[in-house]
Chains A and B, each alone.
Chain A
Amino acid sequence: MATPAKTPGPVRIPGGVAAPGRGGIGESPLRPDGTLKVAGEFAYASDLWMDGMLWGATLRSPHPRALIRSIDIGPALALPGVLAVLTHEDVPGRKMFGIDHTEDQPVLAIDQVRHQGEPVALVAADHPETARRAMSLIAVDYAVLDPITDPRAVIADPEGLKVQDRGGITRYQPVRVGDVDAAKAAAEVVVSGEYEVGIQDQAFLGPESGLAVPSDDGGIDLYVSTQWLHNDLKQIAPCLGLSEDQVHLTLAGVGGAFGGREDLSMQIHAGMLALRTGRPVKMSYNRYESFFGHVHRHPAWMRYEYGATGDGRLVYADVEIILDGGAYTSSTMNVVGNAASLGVGPYEIPNIRIDAYGVYTNNPPCGAMRGFGAVQACFAYESMMDRLAAACGLGRIEVRRRNAVSQGSRLATGQVIESPAPLAEMLARLEAMPMPAEPDRSDLRNLPGGVSQSTRGEGVVRGVGYGVGLKNICFSEGFDDLSTARVRLEVIGGEASVLVHTAAAEVGQGLVTVQAQVARTELGVQKVTIAPADDRVGDAGSSSASRQSYMTGGAVKRACEAVRAELLARAGRRFGCPAGELGVADGKIVRLAAGAVLGTVEDVLGDGAIEETREFHHRPTARMDPVTGQGRSHTQLALCVHRAVVDVDVELGLVKVVELAAVQDVGKILNRLSLEGQIHGGSAQGLGLAVMEEIVVSGGLVRNPSFTDYLIPTILDMPPMRLDILENPDPEAPYGLRGAGEPPTLSSTPAIVAAIRDATGRPLTRVPVRPEHITLPEAP
């Protein structure tokens, strides 16, 4: 082992990307970063490299709950090649951090550990293997305690079963509408069910990684893959004992996120090691560590009872939802808010009682994942709609249509749906889609089990199912949600060029493409460059909650409008006419009424640049009332509906999803190619939750932290999709758009499970559905 003797080329840090070609809003220009990505030249966080850099590594707790009696770092520090070994005593500043102003998570464990994989100590060494060996030499003396792992027990005894001093319950959010008890007496049909959702992992492919570089002013430059640079900065700087001016963050290439990068992972740790050693430090988790390095989707236990009239119109809902957040708060507050406010989905119900809880346990920590809170509830309420259909002798589409919301309806929170919500039309369109053909069963690849030859067609039954999902878009419950954009227009090499600078994280979703499209549309200039996202421009908020097209798209649009106003003012002076009579299109200044071209953008700009920075906020929202859950808590809502067709080998419990069809209302299609990719990818993650994905936990310990044992859909598992995309604009949103990334993840799961029920007649109240749930009589 030695430090790399051969320099692997120059320092690799992320750069800006020029957006090639043409294409404004509504077209499908190609991704500006696509060429770098297919050539293998895009600098992801784990690709970063600097001369003289060290490798950081994290020693993690093997126990879900234990007291730390002592830590001996001496032998590790004595190992040649080791430059630093740090514990909580070495945290230079505040020792606790956490998103959403809940600083309840230690940077490194202090006297106790609350979940398996909790960071305990850090090592910096000249080679990753040296760092691994050093970690094995750190002696931690643990007094192991019985972990608290049953969230229902915590609710029964929140003061007795405390993982956090503040109590066992992170948030309790009730929703109260009408009089459920009175309605129970009047209901002609009653259905009930208990449902469970396992822990899903984001399983982004690019592991948590980053590079920390000591800067000349005693601060730190961090190149990291994250979803929200400014929120990272607010947590990192105080823990490093630095001011926010001394910490500079630049977004390194992000290999997927899906919520798993909202919480910090290696950022503070790499900063500590770089400050201590005075050298650049790279940290990159392997897949095993990644399963412990980020929060997961909350597992849920849900009890539902619905009452209806004989003709299938809902009269009450009585619901309890329990979400296990693990040891720290993370996003649990918001996850509970979503589960409560969207707990009965897009259906009109006059009497509602929902009790939603988030609890602390010593199970794996849970936080943000695509569709959070809404995904879990959607599996339950859609399962309930099918039960209601059966109890009333109605079709599954018909029972949904009879209860569907529309524009003007009230949600469980009392919030009125102010923009189009054409659920009935979406269901009709879904129903009208052609069904897939019967498979050619002579080809084993078309059958459940595939080439493992588990069947030649015997015991295979086809099923069809439907799912409907409603997701809030952007941040909710009173959060002042904003994004910022700086746009510069100038002549470079004789051509008018736009530079768009935001702190918004491109995580794969295509935000850089949309930013360029907005600039082209608003400024009529083709050449657009997207600057690297960093903290040298204002906050953009998180790449989550399906919000970046809305928020950062909105900010770029607003900054471009300001640049355009100044451009036209200058043009008016130059051409001697009121600016209000001018427009810009295709690089030309145009007198609108006459349609006459007065000159080019380059003529007007000359050597003078125009630069404007603007913030964009969406309409304020309100906190849910702590007693009744009432309040206008969401700014936008989005619908997606799915139909799933499955073939099930009912003897072996093997499922092949044959086709997924989806109808989604996106308000306005900004970029069809990217949008379809979001719907496909979101549906695939929903498929994973339906039939394969679960972090299996027993006694607080993760049993399958690898891609060998935690399965995500392959190209053999994901079926062809039919899409029908509607454009009913939301007048409050930029271009009328509706956030699109999360809704498909909600509805695909219940549709697939409903299809398996249709094929098998089994209740299937837990996801993921496993073969034994289909084949064993006592299964859920």
Chain B
Amino acid sequence: MRVTVTVNGSEETVDDVWEGESLLYMLRERMGLPGSKNACEQGECGSCTVYLDGVPACACLIAAGQVEGREVRTVEGLAGGERLDPVQEAFVEAGAVQCGFCTPGLIVQSHDLIGRNPAPTDAEIREALAGNLCRCTGYEKILDAVRLAARRKAAAR
């Protein structure tokens, strides 16, 4: 089948998509966007989190055909040109990245959190990120990163 979808602001048409493919597979294997990660492919780890019409969702749980005519924004679409989003910068600076496989999903989820709640408490950060597994960091530096990003975004306002 053919799928037409707006990804990171640009409308794309993808041909020969098999009906059983997920949005994650289509992004990674057909559209050259492997930033969203394939860690569990059953909606448990959050590594494939993307925005679908502005709402975070696990791309592994969405059939490719379901995104016809809709808008998807992936981790690759968060930076403004060469300039990283403050959430991305904060993850590097706070030491929240080790192997980095969970990082794209955590960044999209944190980006959404700060967009909705510019000054989240620690409890709110934990609640928002509870669906994103990280095996390397023990989450302490991820909390640091989200706090830092929220402060930076607030200061820039």
Chain A residues within CB distance 8 Å of chain B? 1-9, 12, 28, 30-31, 33-35, 37-44, 46-47, 49, 127, 129, 202-207, 253-258, 284, 286-287, 443, 445, 507-510, 673-674, 676-677, 679-685, 706-708, 712-716, 718, 720-721
Structural contact, B31 and A6, CB atoms closer than 8 A: yes
Within the complex, what minimum Cβ distance (angstroms) separates B65 from chain A? 14
Contact of A40 among B75, B129, B135 (CB under 8 A): B75
Instruction: Tell me the nearest residue of chain B to A48, going by C-beta.
Output: B34
Residues of A with C-beta under 8 A to B35: 39-41
8 Å CB contact of A508 from B33, B100, B139: B100
Given A4-B16, A8-B30, A715-B99 contact (CB < 8 Å): no
User: Which one, B38, B95, B127, B140, contacts A445 given CB within 8 A?
Assistant: B127
Q: Is A715 a contact of B135 with CB atoms below 8 Å? A: no
Q: Which residues of A contact B132 (CB under 8 A)?
A: 714-715
A30–B92 alpha-carbon span in the complex (Å): 7
Which residues of B from 11 to 66 have beta carbons under 8 Å from A?
14-16, 18, 20, 28-42, 44-45, 47
Closest to A744 in B: B138
Q: Is the CB of B74 within 8 A of A40?
A: yes
A226 to B113 CA separation, bound complex (whole angstroms)? 35
Decide if A35 touches B44 in the complex (CB within 8 Å): no
Q: Which residue from chain A places its CB closest to the CB of B124 in the assembled complex?
A: A445
CB contact between B44 and one of A28, A31, A47, A706 (< 8 Å): that residue: A706
Within 8 Å by CB of A715, from B16, B98, B130, lies B130
Task: Answer whether residue B123 sits at the interface, using C-beta atoms and an 8 A cutoff.
Answer: yes
Contact of A205 among B31, B93, B99 (CB under 8 A): B99
Inter-chain contact B42/A708, CB cutoff 8 Å: yes
A707 to chain B, nearest CB (A): 4
Residue of A nearest to B39 (CB): A205
- Is B154 an interface residue, CB under 8 A from the partner? no
The range of chain B's interface size is 35 or more
Q: Which of B15, B130, B141 is close to A676, meaning CB atoms less than 8 Å apart?
A: B141
Among B14, B28, B129, B140, max chain A CB count under 10 A is at B140
Give the chain A neighbours of B139 by CB distance below 8 A.
680, 684, 713-715, 718
* Of A49, A202, A682, A718, most B-chain CB atoms within 10 Å: A718
Q: How far, in whole Å, are A46 and B36 apart by their CA atoms in the complex?
A: 11
Docked pose: A38 CA to B131 CA in angstroms: 18
Q: Please measure, in the bound complex, the distance between the C-alpha atom of A75 and the C-alpha atom of B102, giving whole angstroms.
A: 39
Q: Which residues of B contact A (CB under 8 A)?
A: 14-16, 18, 20, 28-42, 44-45, 47, 74-76, 79, 84, 88-89, 91-93, 95, 97-104, 107, 123, 125-127, 129-143
> With A and B bound together, what is the CA distance between A351 and B91 in angstroms?
51
B101 touches A44 (CB 8 A): yes
Contacts of A714 in B (CB 8 A): 130-133, 139
Q: Which residues of A contact B127 (CB under 8 A)?
A: 445, 716
Is B93's CB under 8 angstroms from A30's CB?
Answer: yes
List of 5 A-B pairs having minimum Cβ-Cβ separation, nearest first: A40-B35, A508-B99, A8-B32, A680-B138, A37-B100
Task: List residues of chain A with CB within 8 A of the CB of B33.
Answer: 8, 40
Most B-side CB within 10 Å, residue of A8, A9, A721: A8
Residue of B at shortest CB range from A203?
Answer: B135
> Bound state CA distance, A680 and B96, in angstroms?
11
A74 to B116, CA, bound (A): 57
CB-based nearest B residue for A287: B40
The distance from the CB of B68 to the nearest CB of chain A, in whole angstroms, is 16
Identify which of B34, B38, B93, B98 contacts A12 (C-beta below 8 A): B34
A-B contact pairs, 19 of them (CB 8 A): A4-B29, A6-B30, A8-B32, A35-B88, A38-B97, A38-B103, A40-B76, A129-B20, A254-B99, A256-B135, A257-B99, A286-B41, A287-B40, A445-B127, A508-B98, A676-B95, A680-B140, A707-B45, A714-B131
CB neighbours of A5 from chain B (8 A): 15-16, 30
A206 partner, pick from B16, B99, B123, beta carbons under 8 A: B99
A255 adjacent to B32 (CB under 8 Å):
no
Given contacts A206-B37, A680-B138, contact A39 B84 (CB under 8 A): yes
> Closest approach, in angstroms, between the C-beta of B19 and any C-beta of chain A?
9
Chain B residues within 8 Å of A6, by CB: 14-15, 30-31
Chain A residue with the shortest CB-CB distance to B27: A8
Chain A residues positioned under 8 Å from B131 (CB to CB): 714
Contact B34 A712 (CB under 8 A): no
Instruction: Output the least CB separation between A323 and chain B (Å).
Output: 23
Give the CA-CA distance A677 to B91 in the complex, in Å: 13
**Are A31 and B40 closer than 8 Å at their CB atoms?**
no
CA distance in complex: A677, B29 (Å):
32
Complex CA distance for A8 and B25, rounded to whole angstroms = 12
Distance, CA A46 to CA B102, complexed state (A): 14
- Assembly CA distance A202 to B101 (angstroms): 14
Find out whether the CB atom of A31 lies under 8 angstroms from the CB atom of B97. yes
